[in-house]
Every structure is written in C-alpha cells, then in structure tokens.
Amino acid sequence: MIRLNVFIQVSESNRAVVLEAAKELVASSLKDKGCIAYDVFESATRNDVLMICETWQDAESLSAHEKAEHFVTLVPKIQGLASMKLEKFDF
C-alpha cells in the first residue's frame, strides 16, 4: 500500500476556493480503482493549513489516479492558489 500526505498552505483569500477544489478531488478520487482512503483535513490550530491524506492499493492504482481527469484538472488549480508539500510512505 501507498500512503500520501499532502500538506497545503493557503492564504485566507484563497482558502475557500482551495478547500472546495480539495473536497471535489476527494469525492472523485474515492471512486478511483485501488483507492482505499482519501480525505481532506483542516488544521485546528492554523487556518492556513489543510492536508489531504490518501491511501492506495498499489503503485498502478496511484499512477492511474494521477492521470485521471479530476486529478489533472483540480491539482493544478490547487497548486496555482496554494503551496503543496508531499510525503509518501510505502507499506
């Protein structure tokens, strides 16, 4: 399995748009083959921080997800409005 933690730092002015795009990404990604878990979290202590946590069955499932229309549309939208940092764990 593969676990990705994606940290998103966003300004107050872009937060609502980024959070909406992240929620749309979650809803679509949960339908992808091999997706075990996919969620977005809001920091309880920092209004400028969001995190997407995703778990994938295998590398093939993650690769297919990265080519899906919702991914190639929504991730660049988020990247254009916020900074993102990725942590990847294989287990």
What global pTM score does this model have? 0.95
pLDDT digits (tens, 9 = 90+) for 44-64: 999 999 999 999 999 999 999
pLDDT tens for 26-40 read 999 999 999 999 999
Long-range contact set of residues 23-29: C-beta below 8 Å, sequence gap at least 24: 24/70, 24/74, 25/52, 25/70, 25/71, 25/74, 25/75, 25/78, 26/52, 28/68, 28/70, 28/74, 29/54, 29/65, 29/68, 29/70, 29/71
Q: What is the pLDDT of residue 37?
A: 98
